[in-house]
């Protein structure tokens, strides 16, 4: 059950100041800023990774400037880690060499967004990253936006970035979550209601039930903000702004997004029984310890019919999963446990799909060919649905295991 609304212009003027995104940017700019304004701010964290840093390095070198403040700059190696071929290794060597020369911290033990959430992000920060899912860190109350390599290069060499202050898209969650339904199901449902570009250039601000969720679940919600076109995703604030959506989750079913976009989400009942060759559990969307625990409860003592690839999102998550016996559970059920990173989500490292193969993944994108051959197919779902599907070898409602 849901309802939506758009504000009149007058009401909009009243409430615009309440948005969390505008509050953070106002504090950063040292004055009250309004949506639509172009402002210049000094980000607290500026980062790129092994796919986006090489072009940023080229741009910095062409610009011929130094790094303004290396303590605010981070390079991550997470997309193809450890490198799978000479091309990847060569690009990563470029990163390592540049980082060493300029005193930039280099991190290679987890997905960038997970590491930022675990160790670096603080409420009120402005974070810009060379990755579209930078919006994930908004769960911690930071303004975090993804950008391209050239913008990141300019931020790294000047210490500043220009931003257009976004309007807010308030999403209020009501009710209580039923058994077997989690943050990923909510995020996919919201994508289907808002649409692929429904929040273009806006800050998606989750309130209500979202504010009482575990951090892991908040991160899953904000992670998918970009799949609706948003500039950032946040949890909290008082945003009854430009557009609002209220969603009562009490009767929500587990959701599965069929190809080719995350907005193509539907109740698991509508796609159950679709044969699956591979299941992926991990990524910046659902590779946290809480996600692995859910998968573990379903996979324990069972055999995975599908080729199952499990990727903890960081070294810390991996170690915790070992100490809780989860990794043993996964290996015993026949899954592959891979080193922390992004690999399979973008078809770059491990778990690639052959022509015609079908994968159900806990990641955030089911675009044509993203994980392999263009004739392969990707379905997106929660860790619970993924684990149930792994056991059956076909898309399965996780509630039958609960």
Partner 1 sequence: MRIWKFGDNVNTDEITPGRYNVTTDRNRLAKCAFVEVRPDFSAGVGSGDVIVAGRNFGCGSSRETAPLALKACGIAAIIAFSFARIFYRNAVNLGLPVFVSQDIPEAAQDGDTGEIDLVNYTLTIGDKVFTLPRPPQFVIDIVQSGGVINFLKNGGTLG
Part in contact with partner 1 (CB under 8 A); list of ranges 4-12, 118-126, 142-150, 355-363: 142-150
Residue number with CB closer to partner 1 (197 or 319): 197
The residue within the footprint of partner 1, chosen from 103, 123, 325, 374 (CB under 8 A), is 374
Smallest distance, partner 1 to C-beta of residue 176, A:
33
CB 226 within 8 A of CB 213: no
Residue number with CB closer to partner 1 (225 or 326): 225
CB 392 within 8 A of CB 274: no
Smallest distance, partner 1 to C-beta of residue 115, A:
18
Q: Per rule CB under 8 A, is residue 365 in the interface with partner 1?
A: yes
Return the closest-CA partner of residue 149 out of 50, 79, 64. Answer: 50
Part in contact with partner 1 (CB under 8 A); list of ranges 17-25, 124-132, 293-301, 323-331: 124-132
Smallest distance, partner 1 to C-beta of residue 368, A:
6
| Binding to partner 1 in span 256-275, by CB under 8 A | 260-261
What is the x/- site pattern for partner 1, positions 165-204, by CB under 8 A?
Answer: -------------------------------xx--xx---
HEC per residue, the chain: CEEEEECCHHHHHHHHCCCHHHHHHHHHHCCCCCCCCEEEECCCEEEEECCCHHHHHHHHHHHCCCCCCHHHEEEECCCCCCCCCHHHHHHHHHHHHHHHHHCCEEECCECHHHHHHHHHCCCCCEEEECCHHHHHHHHHCCEEEECCHHHHHHHHHHCCEEEECCCEEEEEEECCCCCCCCHHHHHHHHHHHHCCCCCCCCEEEEEEHHHHCCHHHHHHHHHHHHHHCCCEEEECCCCCCCEEEEEECCCCCCEEECCCCCCCEEEHHHCCCCECCEEEEEHHHHCCHHHHHHHHHHHCCCCCCCEEEEECCEHHHHHHHHHCCHHHHHHHCCCEECCCCCHHHHCCCCCCECCCCEEEECCCCCCCCCCECCCCEEEECCHHHHHHHHHHCECCCHHHHC
Smallest distance, partner 1 to C-beta of residue 70, A:
20
Part in contact with partner 1 (CB under 8 A); list of ranges 8-16, 28-36, 214-222, 346-354: 346-354
Residue number with CB closer to partner 1 (220 or 261): 261
CB 311 within 8 A of CB 338: yes
| Binding to partner 1 in span 70-99, by CB under 8 A | 80, 85, 87-88, 91
Smallest distance, partner 1 to C-beta of residue 376, A:
11
| Binding to partner 1 in span 50-69, by CB under 8 A | 51-52, 54-55, 58-59, 62-64
Residue number with CB closer to partner 1 (344 or 398): 344
Part in contact with partner 1 (CB under 8 A); list of ranges 119-127, 249-257, 305-313, 345-353: 345-353
CA neighbours closer than 13 Å in the CB half-sphere of residue 381: 35
Q: Per rule CB under 8 A, is residue 159 in the interface with partner 1?
A: no
Smallest distance, partner 1 to C-beta of residue 230, A:
9
Q: Per rule CB under 8 A, is residue 147 in the interface with partner 1?
A: yes
Q: Per rule CB under 8 A, is residue 113 in the interface with partner 1?
A: no
Part in contact with partner 1 (CB under 8 A); list of ranges 96-104, 238-246, 333-341, 360-368: 360-368
CB 255 within 8 A of CB 268: yes
Interface residue list for partner 1 (CB under 8 A): 38-40, 51-52, 54-55, 58-59, 62-64, 80, 85, 87-88, 91, 130-132, 134, 146-151, 153-154, 160, 162, 196-197, 200-201, 229, 231, 260-261, 346-348, 352, 365, 367-370, 374
């Amino acid at each position: 059950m849901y309802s939506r609304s758009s504000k009149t212009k007058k009401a909009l003027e009243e409430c615009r100041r309440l948005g969390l995104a505008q509050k953070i940017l106002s504090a950063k700019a040292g004055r009250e800023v309004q949506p639509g304004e172009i402002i210049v701010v000094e980000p607290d964290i500026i980062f790129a990774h092994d796919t986006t840093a090489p072009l940023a390095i080229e741009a910095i070198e062409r610009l011929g400037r130094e790094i303004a403040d290396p303590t605010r700059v981070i390079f991550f190696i997470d997309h193809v880690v450890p490198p799978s071929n000479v091309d990847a290794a060569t690009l990563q060597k470029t990163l390592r060499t540049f980082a060493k020369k300029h005193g930039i911290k280099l991190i290679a033990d987890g997905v960038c967004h997970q590491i930022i959430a675990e160790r670096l992000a603080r409420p009120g920060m402005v974070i810009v990253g060379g990755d579209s899912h930078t919006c994930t860190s908004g769960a911690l109350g930071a303004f975090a936006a993804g950008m391209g390599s050239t913008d990141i290069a300019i931020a790294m060499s000047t210490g500043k970035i220009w931003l257009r202050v976004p309007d807010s898209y308030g999403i209020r969650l009501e009710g209580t979550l039923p058994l077997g339904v989690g943050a990923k199901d909510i995020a996919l449902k919201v994508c289907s209601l808002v649409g692929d570009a429904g929040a273009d250039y806006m800050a998606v601000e989750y309130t209500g039930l979202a504010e009482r969720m575990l951090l892991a679940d908040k991160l899953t919600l904000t992670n998918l903000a970009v799949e609706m076109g948003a500039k950032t995703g946040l949890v909290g604030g008082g945003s009854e702004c430009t557009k609002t959506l209220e969603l009562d989750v009490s009767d929500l079913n587990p959701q599965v997004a069929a190809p080719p976009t995350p907005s193509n989400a539907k109740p698991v009942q509508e796609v159950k029984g679709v044969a699956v060759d591979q299941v992926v559990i991990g990524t910046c969307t659902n590779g946290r310890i809480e996600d692995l625990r859910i998968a573990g409860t379903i996979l324990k003592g069972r055999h995975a019919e599908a080729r199952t690839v499990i990727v903890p999102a960081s070294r810390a998550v991996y170690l915790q999963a070992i100490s809780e016996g989860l990794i043993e559970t996964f290996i015993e059920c026949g899954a592959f446990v891979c080193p922390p990173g992004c690999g399979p989500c973008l078809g770059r490292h491990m778990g690639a799909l052959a022509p015609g193969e079908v994968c159900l993944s806990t990641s955030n994108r089911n675009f044509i060919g993203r994980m392999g051959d263009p004739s392969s197919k990707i379905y997106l779902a929660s860790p619970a649905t993924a684990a149930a599907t792994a056991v059956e070898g076909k898309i399965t409602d996780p509630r039958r295991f609960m």
